[in-house]
C-alpha cells in the first residue's frame, strides 16, 4: 500500500512540475489577454542605453509547425520618432505581427526611438504584453538636434543652419522635441530626414544590434492582414541571402550627385536592374553607365547585418551620406538597395517571386504592390473600404485571421 501511495504522489508531482507549465507555455497566443500579462512586470531596466522589460518565457529552440524553423541571432527591428500617434501605430503593428508570425518564432524586437517622451512606465508594460513572450527593447537612436549639429564640422554646421534659416540659439530655445519638426527647404522636416539617415548609416553599426546577424525590418505602418503562410527568415538563411524584399521597385534615385556617389563607392556605374524568373536580381554595371537606380521598398525586408557591416558597404554608406546631414535624397531605400545590387545581386531576392506572399498592408496595398481589395477577394473577403482600420472589421468578421482578435483594441490606424 505504501508503494502505491508513493507512486501516486510521484505522478502528481510530475504533473505539477512538468505537464502543467508546458501546457501553459504552449497556450494559444490569441487566448492571452494583454492585461493579464502585466502582473510581475513593474520596473524598467536600469540599462543606460535602452528601455527593456523582463521576458517571462524563453522561446523554444524549435517551432511546432514543421514549415517554420527558429534561427539564432535574428532580430526584428523598427523605428519610430516617438510622438503619440507613432506609439499607437507601433502597438497596432507589433500586435498584428505577433499574431501573424512572431508568436511562433518569438524573435527579439528592437524599437529605435528618437524621442522617448511617450514611452513611459504606463505604456511600456502594454507594449511588452502585446509581443509576449518575445523580448522587447526600446533604444534611443539620437542625441538632440542641437547636439547632433554641434557634433558636425563647423563648415557643415554653418551650411545646414543657413539652409534651414535657423541658429543654434533658436534651436536651443525650442526645446528637444519641437526642434525635430523644423522644416528645411533642402530636406523637408528634420525628423523625417533623420530616420532616412539613421536607416542608411548608423543602424548597421549600432551596439544594440551587435549580437545579431539577421535583421527583419518592419515599418510601423506595415500591418499584417493574415497569418504568414511562409517563413521569410528561414528562406533567407537557408538560401544564404544578403537581402530579401517584399516589394520592388518603389521609385528610383537619379541625378549627378547620386551617380557620382555610386561611382565613387563601387568604381562603376549602374546600367540595368531586373528581377529574374527565380526571384534573384540581374544587374549590369559599367563605368560609362549612369542610369537611374530603382529602389527596394523599405517597408519590409530582411538583411544580413554582417554584409551591411562589411568594410566595402561601410565605405559606401559613408560616401552616400557624406556631409548631407538629414538629407532625404540619400535615403535608406537606396542605402539598402545599392550594396546588394552592386556586390551581391545573386544573393538578393524578391519575396513573391520566391514563393513568399505574406499579405502585409502598407500604403493601401498588400505587400506594397497589390490592391488590398484584390488581395482580400482572393480570400473570399469583400470590402470597399480603403484604410486598414476600416477593412479590418470586415475580414475579421468573415473568419479571416482569427488569431488577430486580441489586437482589436489597438486597431486605429489605416495607412
Q: What is the mean pLDDT of the chain?
A: 84
pLDDT confidence band for 308 (50 / 70 / 90): very high
pLDDT confidence band for 125 (50 / 70 / 90): confident
Q: What does the block give as the cell for 213?
A: 546577424
pLDDT of residue 44: 26
pLDDT of residue 22: 37
pLDDT of residue 123: 77
pLDDT confidence band for 338 (50 / 70 / 90): very high
pLDDT of residue 84: 66
Q: Where are the domains of the chain?
A: 71-247+297-415
Encode pLDDT of 392-402 as tens digits: 888 888 888 99
Question: How far apart are the C-alpha atoms of 120 and 291, rounded to whole Å?
Answer: 47
Q: What is the CATH code for 71-247+297-415?
A: 3.90.550.10
Predicted TM-score (pTM) of this structure: 0.83
Tell me the C-alpha to C-alpha distance, in Å, between residue 17 and each of 4, 341, 348: 20, 53, 47
Count CB neighbours of 107 within 10 A.
24
The answer to whether residue 404 scores a pLDDT higher than 70 is yes
Question: How far apart are the C-alpha atoms of 117 and 130, rounded to whole Å?
Answer: 20
pLDDT of residue 99: 97
Tell me the C-alpha to C-alpha distance, in Å, between residue 258 and each of 177, 194, 198, 346: 31, 19, 18, 23
The answer to whether residue 214 scores a pLDDT higher than 80 is yes
Question: Following CA atoms 333, 336, 337, 341 in sequence, which dihedral angle do they give, to the nearest 10 degrees?
Answer: 170
Question: How far apart are the C-alpha atoms of 220 and 32, rounded to whole Å?
Answer: 23
pLDDT confidence band for 52 (50 / 70 / 90): very low
Of the listed ranges 110-114, 320-324, 402-406, the least confidently predicted one is: 320-324
pLDDT of residue 67: 65
Stretch 189-204: mean pLDDT, rounded? 93
pLDDT of residue 6: 46
pLDDT of residue 97: 98
pLDDT of residue 5: 52
The answer to whether residue 200 scores a pLDDT higher than 80 is yes
Q: Which residue has the higher pLDDT, 392 or 99?
A: 99
Residue 166, φ and ψ in degrees, nearest 5: -145, 180
Interior/surface letters 122-135, b for 16+ CB within 10 angstroms, e for the rest: ebbbbbbbbbbbbb
Count CB neighbours of 67 within 10 A.
10
Stretch 60-84: mean pLDDT, rounded? 75
Q: Which residues pair with 294 in a beta bridge?
A: 252
Residue 329, φ and ψ in degrees, nearest 5: -60, -40
Question: How far apart are the C-alpha atoms of 75 and 214, rounded to whole Å?
Answer: 6
Closest CA to 26 of 53, 55, 57: 57
Running DSSP on this structure, what letter comes out for residue 122? Answer: T
The answer for residues whose C-beta is within 8 angstroms of residue 66's C-beta and 6 or more apart is none
Report cis status (omega within 30 of 0) of the bond before 412. no
pLDDT of residue 186: 80
Q: pLDDT over 90 for what percent of the chain?
A: 63
Per DSSP, the three-state class of 361 is strand
Q: pLDDT over 70 for what percent of the chain?
A: 83
Running DSSP on this structure, what letter comes out for residue 60? Answer: P
Cell numbers 497596432 correspond to 92
Amino acid at each position: 500500500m505504501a508503494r502505491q501511495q508513493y507512486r501516486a504522489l510521484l505522478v502528481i508531482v510530475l504533473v505539477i512540475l512538468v505537464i502543467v507549465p508546458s501546457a501553459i507555455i504552449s497556450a494559444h497566443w490569441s487566448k492571452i489577454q494583454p492585461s493579464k500579462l502585466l502582473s510581475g512586470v513593474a520596473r524598467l531596466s536600469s540599462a543606460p542605453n535602452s528601455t527593456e522589460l523582463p521576458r517571462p518565457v524563453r522561446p523554444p529552440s524549435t517551432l511546432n509547425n514543421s514549415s517554420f524553423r527558429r534561427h539564432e541571432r535574428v532580430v526584428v527591428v523598427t523605428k519610430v520618432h516617438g510622438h503619440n500617434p507613432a506609439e499607437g501605430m507601433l502597438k497596432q503593428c507589433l500586435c498584428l505581427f505577433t499574431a501573424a508570425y512572431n508568436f511562433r518564432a518569438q524573435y527579439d524586437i528592437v524599437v529605435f526611438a528618437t524621442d522617448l517622451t511617450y514611452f513611459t512606465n504606463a505604456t511600456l508594460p502594454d507594449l511588452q504584453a502585446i509581443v509576449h513572450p518575445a523580448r522587447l527593447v526600446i533604444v534611443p537612436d539620437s542625441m538632440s538636434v542641437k547636439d547632433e549639429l554641434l557634433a558636425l564640422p563647423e563648415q557643415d554646421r554653418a551650411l545646414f543652419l543657413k539652409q534651414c534659416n535657423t541658429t543654434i540659439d533658436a534651436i536651443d530655445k525650442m526645446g528637444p522635441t519641437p526642434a525635430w519638426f523644423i522644416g528645411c527647404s533642402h530636406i523637408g522636416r528634420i525628423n523625417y530626414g533623420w530616420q532616412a539617415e539613421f536607416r542608411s548609416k548608423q543602424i548597421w553599426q549600432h551596439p544594440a544590434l551587435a549580437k545579431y546577424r539577421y535583421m527583419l525590418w518592419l515599418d510601423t505602418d506595415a500591418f499584417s492582414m493574415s497569418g504568414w503562410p511562409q517563413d521569410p527568415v528561414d528562406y533567407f538563411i537557408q538560401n544564404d541571402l544578403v537581402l530579401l524584399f517584399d516589394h520592388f521597385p518603389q521609385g528610383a534615385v537619379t541625378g549627378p550627385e547620386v551617380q557620382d556617389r555610386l561611382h565613387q563607392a563601387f568604381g562603376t556605374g549602374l546600367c540595368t536592374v531586373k528581377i529574374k524568373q527565380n526571384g534573384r536580381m540581374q544587374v549590369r554595371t559599367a563605368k560609362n553607365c549612369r542610369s537611374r537606380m530603382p529602389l527596394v521598398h523599405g517597408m519590409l525586408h530582411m538583411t544580413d547585418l554582417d554584409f551591411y557591416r562589411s568594410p566595402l558597404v561601410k565605405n559606401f554608406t559613408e560616401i552616400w551620406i557624406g556631409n548631407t546631414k538629414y538629407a532625404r535624397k540619400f535615403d535608406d531605400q537606396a542605402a539598402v538597395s545599392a550594396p546588394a545590387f552592386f556586390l551581391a545581386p545573386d544573393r538578393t531576392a524578391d519575396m513573391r517571386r520566391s514563393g513568399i506572399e505574406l499579405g502585409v498592408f502598407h500604403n493601401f496595398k498588400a505587400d506594397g504592390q497589390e490592391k488590398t481589395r484584390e488581395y482580400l477577394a482572393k480570400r473570399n473577403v469583400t470590402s470597399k473600404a480603403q484604410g486598414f482600420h476600416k477593412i479590418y472589421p470586415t475580414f475579421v468578421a468573415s473568419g479571416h485571421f482569427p488569431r488577430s482578435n486580441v489586437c482589436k483594441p489597438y486597431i486605429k490606424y489605416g495607412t
